[in-house]
Amino acid sequence: MSEAPTDETPDGSVRTVLDARDVSRALTRIAHELLERNRDVSDLVLLGLHTRGVPLARRIAERITAVEGVPVAVGELDVTMYRDDLRKQPTRRAHRTDIPAGGIDDRVVVLVDDVLFSGRTIRAALDALADLGRPSAVRLAVLVDRGHRELPIRADHVGKNLPSARSERVSVRVAEVDGIDEVTIS
């Protein structure tokens, strides 16, 4: 696949809306926004939601560390058992939850995900967090916000707002999982 933005194909099938450079810029912008809101990064914890939120959280943490010279706590959050659609799709693969040393109590937790759509995954993440501790604040950073919320959830940090039809599919690929960084819509 080409990493340069492409126009919609003649049959309207797939269009690249973010290439690797765009993804990198978006993550850098999110990292700087987090720094502006959190002057003291020692109480900051980035929790990536499986699957693609995990590498995105690690990249954001690397960017913050490069600017501040202080490592940022990064963890992984599995929300599989907290989802409200398990009866419809019961064969989901569970992932691991890995909370950084020091936990999340009284810390600013930033949930990191690839796409914000209905808000149901984030609701599940909030439920999972409640079982793990009591953060001082919870924020949300997403690479793509495509709208169509079913729950009153809003991202605090967004790489790209991407208005889309419900029938369209937004796909995020990250190099750590898919071998390429890009966002497509079909």
pLDDT for position 94: 80
Domain count, the chain: 1
Span 171-175, mean pLDDT? Answer: 98
Cβ atoms of 184 and 5 closer than 8 Å: no
Convert the pLDDT of each residue in 58-112 to its tens digit: 999 999 999 999 999 999 999 998 988 766 765 667 889 999 999 999 999 999 9
Q: Structural domain of residue 136, as residue ranges?
A: 15-185
Which tokens go with 49?
């939601």
Choose among 185, 180, 186, 125: nearest CA to 155.
125
Convert the pLDDT of each residue in 151-171 to its tens digit: 999 999 999 999 999 999 999
Choose among 91, 85, 29: nearest CA to 56.
29
Alpha helical stretches, state H, 69-103: none
Cβ atoms of 39 and 4 closer than 8 Å: no
Which residues pair with residue 185 across a beta bridge? 15, 170
In a domain, 45, yes or no: yes
In a domain, 25, yes or no: yes
Distance CA 89, CA 81 (A): 12
Report cis status (omega within 30 of 0) of the bond before 51: yes
In a domain, 46, yes or no: yes
In a domain, 7, yes or no: no
In a domain, 2, yes or no: no
**CATH number of the domain that residue 112 is part of:** 3.40.50.2020
The set of residues, in sequence order, having a beta carbon less than 8 Å from that of 114 and lying 6+ positions away, is 52, 53, 56, 142, 143, 144, 172, 174
In a domain, 9, yes or no: no
pLDDT for position 117: 96
Which residues pair with residue 142 across a beta bridge? 113, 158
In a domain, 119, yes or no: yes
pTM of the model: 0.90
In a domain, 125, yes or no: yes
Q: Which amino acid is at 154?
A: R
Alpha helical stretches, state H, the chain: 20-37, 53-68, 120-132, 175-178
